[in-house]
Amino acid sequence: MTLHLTNSMGGTKQPFTPHDPREVRIYVCGPTVYNYAHIGNARPAVVFDVLVRVLERHFGRVIYARNLTDVDDKINAAARDAGVAISAITGRFTAAYHADMAALGVRPPTIEPKVTDHIPQIIDLIKRLIVAGHGYEAEGHVLYPISPKRGCRPR
C-alpha cells in the first residue's frame, strides 16, 4: 500500500517517496520550554508521533528530530521574574514536557537538539535565506513571506 501525504505547497495528496528508502528523516519544531505544556504543545507531538509510527511501518528506520527552543524572550522574562538562571527555567520545563508527553504515550524523538547548542548555525542559515531572497530584515527582525507565491519584499 502506498503512503500518501498532503503537499502543503499545493494542497494535494501525493505519494510519499523518501530520499533514502532505507532511512526516512523527519524534523519538526518542538516546544519553547518556558512554561508547562498545553494542548497547543501536545497536539503536534501526538500528530508527529503517529506519523513517525506510520513511517516506521512503511519504511522501517526513521530518524525523528524534534528541537527544543531553550532561548526566547519569554524564557528570558520568566528567568528574570523568578530571579534564576535561564537554564533553571528551561531545565524544569523540559523535564515537565517530557513527563507530560510520556503520559500521553508519545515516544521521545530520535534526536532532540537544543537551539542554544546551534546558534552559530542558525545565524548562518538565516543569512543564507536572506541572500537567497527567502527572507528580509525589517525593524530589527528577519521576516519570511507566508505565501510561497509572493516575493520576499516587505509591503
CATH of the domain at 30: 3.40.50.620
Calculate mean pLDDT across residues 132-150: 82
Shared domain for 28 and 73, answered yes or no, is yes
Shared domain for 88 and 136, answered yes or no, is no
**Domains held by the chain: number:** 2
> Rounded to the nearest 10 degrees, what angle do helices 73-82 and 86-103 cross at?
110
71-120, pLDDT tens digit by residue?
999 999 999 999 999 999 999 999 999 999 999 999 999 999 999 999 99
Shared domain for 112 and 135, answered yes or no, is no
CB–CB of 152/135 below 8 Å? yes
Cβ-Cβ contacts under 8 Å for 58 (sequence gap 6 or more):
3
Looking at the predicted structure, is the pLDDT value of residue 146 above 80? no
Shared domain for 12 and 87, answered yes or no, is yes
Shared domain for 42 and 99, answered yes or no, is yes
Confidence of residue 148 (pLDDT cuts 50, 70, 90): low
Q: Identify the weakest region by mean pLDDT among 5-9, 45-49, 60-64, 148-152.
A: 148-152
pLDDT at position 9 is 79
Looking at the predicted structure, is the pLDDT value of residue 155 above 50? no
pLDDT at position 152 is 47
Shared domain for 138 and 96, answered yes or no, is no
Shared domain for 83 and 155, answered yes or no, is no
CB–CB of 34/72 below 8 Å? yes
Shared domain for 20 and 44, answered yes or no, is yes
Shared domain for 112 and 122, answered yes or no, is no
Cβ-Cβ contacts under 8 Å for 57 (sequence gap 6 or more):
none
Shared domain for 145 and 135, answered yes or no, is yes
Shared domain for 124 and 112, answered yes or no, is no
Looking at the predicted structure, is the pLDDT value of residue 3 above 50? yes
Burial 120-133 (b: 16+ CB within 10 A, else e): eeeeeeeeeebeee
Shared domain for 132 and 96, answered yes or no, is no
Q: Identify the weakest region by mean pLDDT among 26-30, 105-109, 143-147.
A: 143-147
35-69, pLDDT tens digit by residue?
999 999 999 999 999 999 999 999 999 999 999 99
Q: Identify the weakest region by mean pLDDT among 83-87, 116-120, 141-145, 148-152.
A: 148-152
Q: Which domain holds residue 66?
A: 4-116
